[in-house]
Amino acid sequence: MTGLLSQMDLPHALAGLLVGVAVGLTGVGGGSLMTPLLVLIFGVSPQTAVGTDLLFAAATKTAGSGVHGWRETINWPILRRLACGSIPASVVTLIALSELGRIHKGTQHVILIVLGVMLLVTAIGAVFQKRLVAFATTREPRDPKRMLWPTVLLGLFIGVVVSISSVGAGAVGVTALLMLYPQLPVARIVGTDIAHAVPLTLVSGFGHWLIGDVDGVLLANLLLGSIPGVIVASFISSRAPDSWLRLALAAVLVFSGIKLLT
């Protein structure tokens, strides 16, 4: 324990705090911000960044989902539908990654490309989220029972991309759920998406840990800042104006995505 504490450092803790606050306020930022920060700023390899970030997201979003659970803003049937697609897809993807991991440079290249593309898609979803919500709410109400398989397929897609890049469970998931369930309040969509990310990132992160793609000391440093950040931000999220934060987040995502693709 003493050895672990001696390796704690302020920059990683501050990065964890920044991302924890972003997740608590908007439901977005776990993979979208942390993985690019680790790769571009701290020089962490893509595999280690993705694996460490997944367990980071699991712990951070557990704290956030606890607040949403207390506020009763989680739709458990929708969460179960998502998990039915995402968890099996994550397991299959991790098995494939464990085989591809033998080609070290090729795997890094694939992860960087997928991560860059997902960052750009997430940025678009963050910027146009309100317009997509407005469009969805003008349509005829849908029978939630008919959305069973589309939701499972959405979970499958999220399970694959999150396991590869750690990105997609935030803005992409929220935007898609808003289109599928326009009759639900946005707060319940966000709460459900955050809660769904907990088992998904836990399974994916554990798989990456078995592969050897998790840095335990780095993870501890990040969580030192993120846990208090996400708890405080989750409590104040309903009162904080997030329009400027959404634009700033989108700008960071676009910059990071382009940087990873070039």
Domain ranges of the chain: 2-261
pLDDT of residue 12: 92
Amino acid at 196: H
201 φ/ψ angles, rounded to the nearest 5 degrees: -70, -30
pLDDT of residue 103: 46
**In the predicted structure, residue 15 carries a pLDDT above the cut 80:** yes
Report pTM. Answer: 0.78
How many residues does the structure list for the chain? 262
CA distance 214 to 53: 8
CB atoms within 10 A of CB 4: 11
**87 neighbors 203 (Cβ within 8 angstroms):** yes
Highest mean pLDDT among 129-143, 164-178, 221-235: 221-235
Task: Report in angstroms the alpha-carbon separations of 40 from 36, 49, 61, 151, 172.
Answer: 6, 10, 23, 33, 22
How do residues 126-144 score in pLDDT, each as one tens digit?
A: 677 667 666 766 665 566 6
CA distance 170 to 205: 16
29-42: average pLDDT = 82
**In the predicted structure, residue 102 carries a pLDDT above the cut 70:** no
| Radius of gyration of the chain, Cα coordinates, nearest whole angstrom | 17
DSSP string, 196-244: HHHHHHHHHHHHHHHHT---HHHHHHHHHHHHHHHHHHHHHTTTS--HH
Residues 6+ away with beta carbon under 8 Å from 65:
74, 191, 194, 195, 197, 198
CB atoms within 10 A of CB 241: 8
pLDDT of residue 55: 92
List the one residue out of 83, 75, 194, 182 whose CA is nearest residue 137.
182
Instruction: For residue 4, name the pLDDT band (cuts at 50, 70, 90).
Output: very low
How do residues 191-217 score in pLDDT, each as one tens digit?
A: 888 889 899 999 999 999 988 889 999
CA distance 15 to 141: 41
